[in-house]
Chains A and B, each alone.
Chain A
Amino acid sequence: MDADVIVIGAGIVGAACAQALAQAGRRVLVLDARIGGATGAGMGHLVVMDDNAAELELSRHSVAQWRELAPRMSEDCAYSACGTLWIAANDEEMAEAERKQQRLRAHGIDSRLLDARELANAEPALRKGLAGALEVPGDGILYAPNAARWLLAQATDSVRVEHAKVEAIEDDGALSLADGSHRTAPQIVLANGIQATTLCPELPIRPKKGHLLITDRYPGTVHHQLVELGYVTSAHHSDGDSVAFNVQPRPTGQLLVGSSRQFDTTDPAVEAPMLARMLQRTLDYLPGLANLNAVRSWTGMRAASPDGLPLLGKHPWREKLWLAVGHEGLGVTTAPGSAHLLAALMTDATPDFDATPYAPRGLRETA
């Protein structure tokens, strides 16, 4: 097959791009080095985020697309429409929950405020004395590695996956592979997550490390994805380590526990002090966790851009190259919307929403 487009990376973003391009009539070759990435490490929370208008637009569009895909997705994608509870610890955070509801409402997103008693009824495992919560029922979760495979399998006639490592992108846009061979196509999409800077050192992307832990099966302990409202402030510091309460009920009955954020380390090792901080924060909200068994903990690297928005669009000076990188902690959620935008731009179609906020920016000229 002669490809119209080559996608570098078969994580959730590359898979979604390949699928969207195939839907637009393109023949797509996906190259993946099988070194793995954030897709296999993350939480898979499909969540509408409203820190700024562009993030809200992209996540809203994407979560709606996931909801549409869900009934067709294979069971091992483990999609669950559990919704999110944004937990308010005190009155100040409750006021934030109300502001959040107004922002979401202005964009047509359904949500519901729970007072302290309603929250205790909805999630009895939470500690007493919390102020309340904002429930966003349209959010969900899925198992991202399987969802990526499923997306790639949707267009077997026009999407081919080859396991190969791209070593370099030449000036004319041709790709040199590790085995010494070359591949070329009229358009190339860079979607290799945190590895993007190995091929394009000029990209403004930094690793942001996260720890996760999963428990044994305790079905019915928690019903929604639970996130502290303080998350909004702690997760978006651009520097310094932080932890936030974030627990996900897996369909197996396991609890997936996040989240931590650390800059300037590429060491994948689980760090006991960081894990301890994260679990202490979890215990502040979910004291019963102390009696449960953890079965595994691991880390992953988020590909962070300076302003937290992904870079989607044509590379300003590299021949044939399009970017789909920098999805940070929201790439599972925003994969379908990112793919929709990029595929529209690449095929001269009009995207459903404005692409300008995500246009590649902040690239440094390198020698």
Chain B
Amino acid sequence: MSAHTLLNIDGHLVRVKAGSSVAAALRVAGGMGVARTSVTGQKRAPFCGMGVCQECRVLIDGRRRLACQTVCAEGMRVETTG
């Protein structure tokens, strides 16, 4: 098994350590690791890291999932504009 995983976040290829969560990949991809935007336009990032706060919702391969509860897989497509 390769030590790294390559995934696609909002159209950019991102390489992370194998076994990383998507939440970690969001940080690697840039800045604060923004996952979503609230109805009032606020940027929201993973907060609790354990599946409770629901602030890390992203589209993963077309389905809305929690970034902190999802392990990166090769070729995964993540969208933060959902």
- Chain A residues at the B interface, C-beta cutoff of 8 Å: 216-217, 252, 291-293, 295-296
Contacts and interface: CB of A to CB of B under 8 A. Distances in A.
A295 B39 contact: no
Given A293-B64, A293-B65, A216 B57 contact: yes
13 contacts: A216-B54, A216-B57, A216-B64, A217-B39, A252-B39, A291-B63, A292-B64, A293-B57, A293-B64, A293-B65, A295-B54, A295-B57, A296-B54
Interface of B is mostly: strand
Contacts of A217: 39
Contacts of A293: 57, 64-65
A65 B66 CA distance: 42
The 7 closest A-B pairs by CB, nearest first: A295-B54, A293-B64, A252-B39, A216-B64, A216-B57, A293-B57, A296-B54
Contacts of B57: 216, 293, 295
Contacts of A296: 54
A228 to B, nearest CB: 27
A291 B64 CA distance: 9
Nearest to B63: A291
Interface string B46-73: 0000000010010000011100000000
A73 B8 CA distance: 44
Nearest to B38: A252
Contacts of A291: 63
A162 B65 CA distance: 43
A359 B54 CA distance: 46
A319 B31 CA distance: 64
A292 B59 CA distance: 12
Contacts of B63: 291
Contacts of B65: 293
A253 to B, nearest CB: 8
B58 to A, nearest CB: 11
B64 to A, nearest CB: 5
A313 to B, nearest CB: 41
A331 B65 CA distance: 35
Interface in B6-27: none
B53 to A, nearest CB: 9
A25 to B, nearest CB: 38
A220 to B, nearest CB: 14
Given A252-B39, A291-B63, A293-B65, 7 more contacts: A216-B54, A216-B57, A216-B64, A217-B39, A293-B57, A293-B64, A295-B57
A293 B63 CA distance: 9
Nearest to B53: A295
A165 B64 CA distance: 43
A234 B25 CA distance: 48
A70 to B, nearest CB: 20
B56 to A, nearest CB: 11
B65 to A, nearest CB: 7
B59 to A, nearest CB: 10
A78 to B, nearest CB: 10
Nearest to B54: A295
A157 B80 CA distance: 47
A252 B38 CA distance: 10
A65 B27 CA distance: 50
Interface in B22-44: 39
Contacts of B39: 217, 252
Nearest to A252: B39
A126 B63 CA distance: 21
Contacts of B64: 216, 292-293
A296 B54 CA distance: 8
A141 B57 CA distance: 26
A217 B65 CA distance: 12
A252 B57 CA distance: 15
Contacts of A216: 54, 57, 64
Nearest to B57: A216
A292 B65 CA distance: 10
